[in-house]
Structure 1
Amino acid sequence: MKKFLYIVLGITGAIVVLANLGSLIGLAFSALLVIGGLHYFLQSHSTLGKVFWATVGIVGLLTAVSNIPAFLGLAAIALIWYAIRKWNGEPVAMKTKSNDPFENFEREWKQITRN
């Protein structure tokens, strides 16, 4: 029964993603406007250039925020990702590595003593 639920979840998510594909492309374009505006704003030395690139970034930000269907598409992509991970039996949480030298030493010591 769980497998059937994951199949239905994945198919529903795929339909929502395909229905919102245009708005997802628009969101990507808005993100490019924001990133480009910020990049050129930081590189600009003139006041007029800074005003222009800040305006470009703000326009990109406003179009991204007003693009609500794209956020539904992103939620559907997350839903598909969740369904695939659960279908394969993989944990949904991401593994993070610690930079603590003691934890790294303990992990390496466990691997050495197993062999």
Structure 2
Amino acid sequence: MKKFLLFLAGLVAFMVLLANIGPMVFFALGIWLLYVIFKQFMKTDSVAGKVGWVIVGLIVLSMTISNMFALIGVVAIAALYMVYKSWKKEDDVPVVHHIKEDDPFTNFEREWAELNK
């Protein structure tokens, strides 16, 4: 049942990721463009050039902010990663299933398993 629920959670996260792939691309493009605009702003010495880069930067910033739904896609990627890690994680099965009280090696294995948790 746990594997089925993990599968459903992964499927939902994958669908959310697919729905937000466009805003994620434009969000990343907007951040990159803001970086380029900032670099150009710092290189410019004229006041008119700086004002022009600020105006272009504000336009690109407004377009980048409109793609904030991309953060939902990032959360979906994180959810997919957690589902993958949970899927690959083995169940906590004790090392010793049948404990004989008179066997010292079995007691040692049981105590070692308790210490390693």
- Check whether TM > 0.5: yes
Q: Distance in 2 between matches of 1:61 and 1:88?
A: 40
Shift of 1:12: 1.0
Quick check: which has more Rg, 1 or 2? 2
Per the alignment, residue 99 of structure 1 pairs with: none
Q: 1:73 to 1:47 in 2, by over 3 A?
A: same
Q: Distance in 2 between matches of 1:51 and 1:33?
A: 17
Per the alignment, residue 8 of structure 1 pairs with: 8
Write 1 or 2 for the structure with the bigger share of helix. Answer: 1
Q: In structure 1, give the amino acid aligned to 2:59.
A: V
The answer to whether the Cα contact below 8 Å between 2:13 and 2:76 also exists between their aligned partners in 1 is yes
Shift of 1:53: 1.8
Per the alignment, residue 32 of structure 2 pairs with: 32
Q: In structure 2, give the amino acid aligned to 1:5.
A: L
Name the TM-score, length of structure 2 as normaliser.
0.64
Q: Distance in 2 between matches of 1:5 and 1:16?
A: 17
Secondary structure of 1:33's aligned partner: helix
Task: Trace 1:1-115 onto structure 2 (pairs within 5 A).
Answer: 1-89=1-89
* Structure 1 stretches of at least 4 aligned residues deviating more than 6 Å after TM superposition: none
Q: Distance in 2 between matches of 1:88 and 1:55?
A: 50
Per the alignment, residue 101 of structure 2 pairs with: none
The answer to whether the Cα contact below 8 Å between 1:34 and 1:56 also exists between their aligned partners in 2 is no
The answer to whether the Cα contact below 8 Å between 2:21 and 2:73 also exists between their aligned partners in 1 is yes
Aligned residues: 90
Gaps of 5+ in 1: 90-115
Gaps of 5+ in 2: 90-117
Q: Distance in 2 between matches of 1:59 and 1:77?
A: 28
